[in-house]
C-alpha cells in the first residue's frame, strides 16, 4: 500500500527547504525531488502527478484539505487525474483522500516537448530502421556503435558516406522513434558530418514546421530533452570507433547539403526571376545578384534593402526574407545585404 501523503505538508516542507537547503528540496517523497508547487492547486497537482509518472510510480495517495482547494472545484482535480489513470476521491472531515492509480498506457508523447510530438507520432509503431537489413555490399565497412539504451549499425562506403543505418536497444517507444529518425538523417552523410552534426540534423528534422521551438532561446540537443542523449552519445562515439578500425579521420569537414534537383534544374535567369518575384511581393528589398557560394552552388542571394527601412528594422527584415525565400523556393538559399561603399571621392583616392 502506498504511503499517504499530505499535500499541505509537502508544500510546507518545500517552502521551508528553500530557506534551509541548497539542494534536495524533497525528502518525504523522493519522486517529488524536482516538483515545484504552484499557487494554483490544480496546476500544482498536475505537476505532482507528472513527477510521479516520470519516476515510474504506480500509485499516489494524498490528503487534500478543502481550504487548499478554495476557489477551484474538485471536478477540476478529477479531470486532471483522469489524464493519468483511475482516481478516487473519498470525502473526509476537512477534505478528501485522493488515490490515483497511474495507467501504464498513457500517451508516451506527453512526456516530450510539443514541438517534437507530430513527427515522433508519425513514427511510433511504424519504425523503418529498427534492425534493418544491410546492403550486403562487400566494399562497405560495418561500424557498430553502442551506448546506454541505444545501439547503431552503420555501413560506410569507400568515400566514407553512410549507405545504411539501423538501430536497436531503445528503452521505450519514443526513444525508438527518435533513433529511427536519427538513422534516416544519417543515411547519405559523410561519417565526419554525421559525427559533427548528426544530432543537430535530427533536432531540425523533428521540429520542422513546429509552431514553437522546443525551448526558449537557442535549441540544442543538450537542452531540447533527454530523448537526444543517446543520439548525441552515438555521434560522439563515431570518430573513436572509426579510428579503432584503422581508418583515417579527415581533419576538416566542408560538407554542405546540395541544392534540390528542382533548383539546380532551373536556368540562371529563371532562378533570378523567381527570387526577384518573391522579393517584390514582400517589398522590403530588391535583388542585386544571385551568385555561386563558396562551394560553387547558385545559392548566394545579394539584396538591396529599401531606404524606407530604419537601421533597427533591417536585421529582423533580412531574417524574415531569408525564411521566406527558403520556404518558397529553396531551403538553403543564403541571403546577404549589398555592401555599401563609401561614396566620398576624397576618401576613395
Beta strands in 16-149, from DSSP E residues, in sequence order: 59-65, 85-92, 95-102, 141-147
Q: Is 252 inside a domain boundary?
A: no
- At residue 134, the pLDDT reads 67
- At residue 55, the pLDDT reads 75
Which range has the top average pLDDT, 95-104, 106-115, 298-307?
298-307
At residue 78, does pLDDT exceed 80? yes
- At residue 184, the pLDDT reads 96
What's the mean pLDDT when you consider all of the chain? 89
Q: Is 250 inside a domain boundary?
A: no
| 118 in the same domain as 92 | no
Q: Do 219 and 203 form a contact (C-beta atoms < 8 A)? A: yes
Q: Is 8 inside a domain boundary?
A: yes
How confident is the model over 304-345, as pLDDT tens digits? 999 999 999 999 999 999 999 999 999 889 999 987 665 555
| 12 in the same domain as 91 | yes
How confident is the model over 161-216, as pLDDT tens digits? 999 999 999 988 899 999 999 999 999 999 999 999 999 999 999 998 788 888 88
Q: Is 344 inside a domain boundary?
A: no
At residue 159, does pLDDT exceed 80? yes
Mean pLDDT, residues 248-276 taken together: 94
| 74 in the same domain as 14 | yes
* Lowest mean per-residue pLDDT among 7-21, 151-165, 253-267: 7-21
- At residue 172, the pLDDT reads 87
| 300 in the same domain as 178 | no
Domain that holds residue 170: 109-244
Domain's final residue, options 211, 244, 277:
244
Total structural domains within the chain? 3
Mean pLDDT, residues 242-251 taken together: 95
Domain's final residue, options 43, 73, 102:
102
At residue 25, does pLDDT exceed 50? no
Strand order in the sheet with 334-337: 285-292, 298-305, 334-337
- At residue 342, the pLDDT reads 55
Q: Is 290 inside a domain boundary?
A: yes
- At residue 43, the pLDDT reads 92
What's the burial of 176, exposed, middle or buried (CB within 10 Å: 0-12/13-18/19+)? Answer: buried
At residue 280, does pLDDT exceed 70? yes
Integer Cα distance of 325 and 328 in angstroms: 5
Integer Cα distance of 321 and 281 in angstroms: 11
Residues of the chain with pLDDT > 90: what percent?
Answer: 67
> The C-alpha cell of 54 is what?
516520470
- At residue 344, the pLDDT reads 56
| 40 in the same domain as 145 | no
pTM metric for this prediction: 0.65
- At residue 320, the pLDDT reads 93
Amino acid at each position: 500500500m502506498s504511503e499517504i501523503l499530505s499535500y499541505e505538508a509537502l508544500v510546507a516542507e518545500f517552502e521551508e527547504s528553500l530557506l534551509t537547503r541548497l539542494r534536495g528540496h524533497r525528502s518525504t517523497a523522493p519522486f517529488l525531488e524536482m516538483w515545484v508547487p504552484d499557487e494554483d492547486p490544480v496546476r500544482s497537482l498536475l505537476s505532482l502527478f507528472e513527477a510521479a509518472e516520470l519516476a515510474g510510480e504506480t500509485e499516489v495517495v494524498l490528503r487534500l484539505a478543502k481550504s487548499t482547494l478554495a476557489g477551484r472545484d474538485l471536478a477540476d482535480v478529477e479531470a486532471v487525474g483522469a489524464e493519468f489513470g483511475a482516481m478516487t476521491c473519498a470525502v473526509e472531515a476537512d477534505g478528501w483522500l485522493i488515490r490515483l492509480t497511474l495507467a501504464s498506457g498513457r500517451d508516451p508523447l506527453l512526456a516530450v516537448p510539443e514541438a517534437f510530438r507530430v513527427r515522433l507520432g508519425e513514427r511510433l509503431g511504424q519504425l523503418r530502421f529498427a534492425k534493418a537489413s544491410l546492403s550486403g555490399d562487400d566494399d562497405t565497412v560495418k561500424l557498430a556503435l553502442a551506448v546506454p539504451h541505444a545501439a547503431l549499425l552503420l555501413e560506410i562506403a569507400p568515400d566514407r558516406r553512410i549507405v545504411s543505418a539501423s538501430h536497436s536497444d531503445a528503452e521505450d517507444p519514443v526513444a525508438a522513434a527518435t533513433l529511427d529518425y536519427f538513422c534516416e538523417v544519417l543515411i547519405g552523410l559523410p561519417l565526419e558530418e554525421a559525427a559533427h552534426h548528426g544530432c543537430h540534423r535530427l533536432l531540425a528534422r523533428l521540429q520542422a514546421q513546429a509552431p514553437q521551438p522546443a525551448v526558449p532561446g537557442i535549441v540544442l540537443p543538450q537542452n531540447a530533452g533527454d530523448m537526444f542523449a543517446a543520439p548525441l552519445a552515438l555521434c560522439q562515439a563515431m570518430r573513436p570507433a572509426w579510428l579503432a578500425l584503422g581508418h583515417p579521420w579527415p581533419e576538416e569537414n566542408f560538407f554542405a547539403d546540395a541544392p534540390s534537383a528542382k533548383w539546380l534544374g532551373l536556368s540562371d535567369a529563371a532562378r533570378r526571376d523567381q527570387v526577384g518575384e518573391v522579393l517584390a511581393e514582400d517589398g522590403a528589398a530588391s535583388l542585386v545578384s544571385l551568385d555561386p557560394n563558396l562551394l560553387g552552388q547558385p545559392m548566394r542571394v545579394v539584396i538591396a534593402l529599401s531606404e524606407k527601412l530604419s537601421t533597427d528594422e533591417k536585421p529582423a527584415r533580412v531574417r524574415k526574407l531569408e525564411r521566406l525565400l527558403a520556404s518558397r523556393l529553396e531551403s538553403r538559399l543564403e541571403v546577404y545585404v549589398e555592401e555599401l561603399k563609401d561614396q566620398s571621392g576624397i576618401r576613395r583616392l
